Structure 1
C-alpha cells in the first residue's frame, strides 16, 4: 500500500497561495485525509478540505478546496455522483466491501441460479427514489460515536434508513467464477449515478440480499462529482511534479468553481458593495414565477472586475423579494464601475 511520505516538494514561497478547487484522482489504499495532508504540503497552506470521503479501497474523483475555496465545499458535497463498481454476489462481509471479514457464504446452488434476468430485476428494484440503510462501517454518528468505531469495537449498531436517489444503475458485465477460497461467486460490473449520501456498498449489500445470496463491493471508482469528472483530475504525482518545477499548484479558480456550481449574476459596483457589507440587494430574478421565493436557489454574485463577491439567495423580506448574501468572499470591499466604452457598451 502506497502511503504519504515526507519527501514532498514545497511550493515556491514567492508564489501566491492558490485559492480554488483541485480534483485529485485518489489512489487505492489512501484515505481521503491522506490526500488532504499531501495537498496541504503541495499548496503550502493548511486550508485544504475535501468534498466527500472515498474509502481507502476506492479510487477516482476527490474534489479538494484550497484556501478560500474550502467555503464552497458544502455545495460540492451535495452534487450527484457517478461510480464504476464491481459487486460480488455470493458472500456477505461485515463492511459490505472486500476489506471486511466474510460473515455468510451462499449455497452454491443458489449462486448458480442467479442469472441475467434476476440481476436485471434486482437492479431495477434498487433504481429510483429509495430508503437506504447506510453501511454500518461508516462515519455516521450513533449516540455521539462514529458507527465504524462501534462496529470495530464489536458492537452492533442500527442505522436509520434515509432517502436517496439512484438515477442510473447500469449493468455492463456479469461473470461467474470463484473467490480465493474456491467459493462460487458472480461478479457484476455496474455504473451508478446517485444523489449525495448514497452508499454504493449498501447497494451491493441490498442487491445480494434481494437475490438471496448476499453481496459486497470488490471495486469502486468515482468518475464524477457534479461538474467535475476524471478528465479534470490529476494524480498526486502530477501535482507534485508541477510544484517541483516551480509552478503553482494547478487549481480551478474560485470564480470558475462558483460559476460551475451556481447561476452567475453580474453585480453593479453599488450592488457589489452592498453585498460585500452584508446588505441585501435587488433579487437575482426580477420576474420570478408565482409563489414564494425558492430559498434553496443560490446564485454567484460577481463584481464588475470579475471577482466573486458572494453567494446570494433570493428571499422574501418585509413583503419584497431581495437577494441576501449567504456567504461573502470579499467582506468590506469597495468597488468602482468600469469605464464607459466609447461605443456605448459596458
Structure 2
C-alpha cells in the first residue's frame, strides 16, 4: 500500500499492486475493483421497468449497486431527479446509519439486476478488504456532504426565486390596489367618485347592510359665479373646501362622494329624520360659518342639501330622485338650507 499526500491510505486494485486512481468524491460509480468486491458478498436481485424499489420517507437499511439497467431517484420538491446506471450505488445512508428515511423515490426505468448489501454483507466486506471499504466509506460520506451542500444551494436559490416572485406579487398587488383606489376616487377632492359609490352600494347590498342609511345630496350655491369671477383654479379650491367639510362628517361605514361638477353626496348611518338632519345642518352651518371669515378669493360657498332615508328594497335611482327633489326645493327657496323628502312623497 502507498500513503497519499494527506496521510491516508490509497487502496490497491485487487488484480494489481498499483494504487487505484483517486476518483471524483461525488461520483456514485464504483471502480471495477470495488464492484468486484461488493459483488462477491452481495445478494443479486432482479428489477423490472416501473418497479418501485422504495419510496421517499421509507425507512431502509439496504444499499444497492446497479449491475445492469437504470434507476431514477426522484427527490420531489421540484428538485432535479437523478438517473443512475451500471456500477452506480444508492441508498448507502440506510446501510451506514440504519433505519434511515429515504430521501427519494427509487424507480427502475429499465429491466436489470441489482446488488443488495445489508449490514451483514457489509461486515463481510470490512473483514475481506478493509482498505477498499475505508476508501469507499470516505467517498460515500464525501458524496453525501457534497450532495447535501448542493441541495442547500438549490433550496437557497429556490427560496431566492420565491422571494423574488413574492416581491413581484406584492408589487403587482400594490399596483392593483393603487389602480382600484384611482378607479374609485375623485382625483380633485380625494372623495369617492360615482364608480366608487356604485361599487360601495353593490357591496352593501350583497352583504345585506343597506338598512339604516340616509342619503344627503349636496350642491354648491352659485358655483358658476365663482368660476366666472375668479377662474377655475379658485373653483377647484372651493370644491376641495366642500370635500373637507364632508370628509369631517363621515364616520366608519359612511361615505362621501363627488358625483360630478359641484354636486356631492353623503351616505351616512342614521336611524331617523332627526339624526339625518343633524348631519345636514352641520354641513350647511360649517360652510356658512367659513364664509363669515374674510377671504378673497373665496375658499368656500354656501351649500344646499336634500336628504332622505334609504329604502333597502329600492335602488339608487329611486333614492337619488327623492333626495334630488328635496335639493331642488332647497335651491328654489334661496339655498344654504336643508330640505327633507319623505318616502311617501312624490319627487318634485
Q: How does the TM-score come out when normalised to structure 1? A: 0.19
Larger RCO: 1 or 2 (CA < 8 Å, sep 6+): 1
Q: How does the TM-score come out when normalised to structure 2? A: 0.19
Q: Based on CA coordinates, which of the two structures has the bigger radius of gyration? A: 2
Give the structure with the higher percent helix: 2
Give the structure with the higher percent strand: 1
